[in-house]
Structure 1
């Protein structure tokens, strides 16, 4: 890491502390202050529209279908299934696609899935439990365990689909779901290969802060506040929510400006996304604080893993350290000049040719 990176990280860290909220990928490190008055409509969150409400145009090379499936905890998940339109009668390789953290399937994961379907893969983009059109109460809460399970449940669905060769299934995880994808594949031996694009390790950033900058004293204070918030939530009978995500007040670090440019403008705004002006529950970080999800990353081997990250991404260190911990076969692809969010949707930046060839070699 360069001195410039460290300085930028320190400046960002101080800015976050002034606002008493670290907003990494749209996830709060800690919940401070009074409860937000944001209203979360549970009925709307679980209604699955048949309209094309993606932030990207529909491809005429792909058949699209809205589907539902259930994870091991009994939560019904909503997904968009993309199939190559001019497919032969043979069963096809398939991909489960998730992320970013706080996004919905109508954003980056759907774009990745549709693009890979254009290239010959059955691809399933899904909303994680408690978010988007998927089920689960309360709304807008995350869990490293349940969200890892969501990927495995997507593999369940794909393996039972009549157009899928269940022995040729891969996974793509974007941003915070890159870490979830790696965790899922380490445990789920049905998956033959995994791509982690612009990856965040959410357990690391929530428990240690950006660039591991949180002290034990700060961590203890955060846990004290989160623990007491549980009493407030229990007394009220409903969780308090953090302030709205990705609203700018001026003076934010560049990567927060980048998040706003994606989530809060026509480029990527979606009303159901946590990151598009909605919020996680205040106590969402609790389950992440003691749960390092990449402990067993080496056990992905001998199946291959491809890390993709932008050269200028503030989050680049997550992929670099995960790459070091992973076992061969592995590859780290750094995209020159790219930021973290460039890999969300910029078709001239995301290396789809390499992703296609990676899975083409692995899913044989």
Structure 2
């Protein structure tokens, strides 16, 4: 297994921008312009993905409720050549701030081409899924969203509910690991280009936030609650992934995916929309990977880019996880390369992994 530990990539010079991406510096530094939330959308039956439709896969829009009563919107993908037996299934979520028409849909469709029933879905309060107000997130609710997807796909007559796996991408990689730790129905999990969102929101990139900064951020967000309560609606952070110059390379990479035809989608929080200003509150004191070792004896496959600024999240999670586990480093790949670069995402390895462990 190839490993790389030097992933600093100029964090100090871009610190303000890096922290802005977590929502912490916005509060800590008092820089709080107001952006609009992505409006709620009715489900569309048209193909509005950022990737081409496969002629080897059947696609269907679906909806289902999570344990909190929020209606989630999903895309179900099935291989056209699927025989008469029940299929192994894989549910797919992420990245954080993305929608199912982006990376998770690409992963789901590609895995369906390899013989799995797959489900990509929008998290609560985002995309085509329900929930008000819009564009808020929670480690508890988003973990529950994954298990709700398992509920749904396990009830389908064409699925063998004893053969269900999970893929989490970017910030939802951490959510997937958290879900699988408690949801024993899931037999194997892949965390691709993962973030631990509770770690980055509470401590900043490379754990660089000081206690003073954290306290100031929490104080400001706490007081923001009064403003939101008085107005009856949340205020929002600055628009995501707009560039002003001088940003660190990985923020340029985010812009290249979310704000260009490569990956732009109007419903994505990351495509020029914004999370609420108080969204980080629920992440600030709830570490989601506390029980990662309890995924064992079910296997974990971590997939990460050699040049990803986020590699340290996967390395830390890998070290904390129990066997069986594997950390697959993709040579030369950045964080966002594993969103959509077909030549770099190891779909064949993922298919082999699930083929083995969902047998």
Q: TM-score range by the shorter chain?
A: over 0.9
2:178 corresponds in structure 1 to 183
- 2:72 corresponds to 1:77: yes
- 2:189 corresponds to 1:194: yes
Give me the whole-angstrom Cα distance separating, in 1, the residues matched to 2:319 and 2:162: 28
1:310 corresponds in structure 2 to 305
2:35 corresponds in structure 1 to 38
Partner SS for 2:224: helix
2:116 corresponds in structure 1 to 121
Aligned counterpart for 2:102 among listed residues 100, 107, 122:
107
**How far has the Cα of 1:40 moved from its partner?**
3.2
- TM-score by structure 1 length? 0.95
Give me the whole-angstrom Cα distance separating, in 2, the residues matched to 1:249 and 1:98: 30
**How far has the Cα of 1:86 moved from its partner?**
1.1
1:16 corresponds in structure 2 to 17
**How far has the Cα of 1:34 moved from its partner?**
6.4
Give me the whole-angstrom Cα distance separating, in 2, the residues matched to 1:12 and 1:156: 42
2:55 corresponds in structure 1 to 60
Contact 1:29–1:205 (8 Å) recurs in 2: no
**How far has the Cα of 1:176 moved from its partner?**
0.1
Matches within 5 A, 1:163-182: 163-182=158-177
2:229 corresponds in structure 1 to 234
Contact 2:59–2:77 (8 Å) recurs in 1: yes
Contact 1:72–1:153 (8 Å) recurs in 2: yes
Contact 1:96–1:171 (8 Å) recurs in 2: yes
Q: List per-residue Cα deviations over 1:254-295 (Å, max 9, x = no partner).
A: 000000000000000000000000000000000000000000
Question: Post-superposition, which runs of at least 4 consecutive aligned residues in structure 1 deviate over 6 A?
Answer: 1-4
Instruction: Flag the structure with more relative contact order, 1 or 2, with Cα contacts below 8 A and sequence separation at least 6.
Output: 2
Give me the whole-angstrom Cα distance separating, in 2, the residues matched to 1:121 and 1:29: 39
Give me the whole-angstrom Cα distance separating, in 2, the residues matched to 1:113 and 1:202: 22
Contact 1:179–1:200 (8 Å) recurs in 2: yes
Partner SS for 1:244: coil
**How far has the Cα of 1:162 moved from its partner?**
1.0
1:212 corresponds in structure 2 to 207
Judge which range, 28-37 or 96-105, deviates more: 28-37
- 2:337 corresponds to 1:342: yes
Give me the whole-angstrom Cα distance separating, in 2, the residues matched to 1:34 and 1:319: 31
**How far has the Cα of 1:46 moved from its partner?**
3.6
Contact 1:167–1:190 (8 Å) recurs in 2: yes
Give me the whole-angstrom Cα distance separating, in 1, the residues matched to 2:9 and 2:61: 45
2:84 corresponds in structure 1 to 89
1:356 corresponds in structure 2 to 351
Q: List per-residue Cα deviations over 1:223-265 (Å, max 9, x = no partner).
A: 0111011011011111000000000000000000000000000
Give me the whole-angstrom Cα distance separating, in 1, the residues matched to 2:99 and 2:50: 10
- 2:27 corresponds to 1:29: no
Give me the whole-angstrom Cα distance separating, in 1, the residues matched to 2:175 and 2:102: 18
Give me the whole-angstrom Cα distance separating, in 1, the residues matched to 2:100 and 2:289: 24
**How far has the Cα of 1:6 moved from its partner?**
3.7
Give me the whole-angstrom Cα distance separating, in 1, the residues matched to 2:194 and 2:103: 13
* Contiguous gaps of at least 5 residues in structure 2: none
**How far has the Cα of 1:73 moved from its partner?**
0.2
Give me the whole-angstrom Cα distance separating, in 1, the residues matched to 2:91 and 2:5: 38
Aligned counterpart for 2:128 among listed residues 133, 143, 160:
133
Count matched residues: 355
Give me the whole-angstrom Cα distance separating, in 2, the residues matched to 1:132 and 1:89: 34
**How far has the Cα of 1:36 moved from its partner?**
4.1
**How far has the Cα of 1:8 moved from its partner?**
1.4
Give me the whole-angstrom Cα distance separating, in 1, the residues matched to 2:4 and 2:176: 28
Q: List per-residue Cα deviations over 1:201-233 (Å, max 9, x = no partner).
A: 000000011000011111101101110110110
Give me the whole-angstrom Cα distance separating, in 2, the residues matched to 1:30 and 1:148: 25
**How far has the Cα of 1:9 moved from its partner?**
2.0
Aligned counterpart for 2:264 among listed residues 266, 269, 276:
269
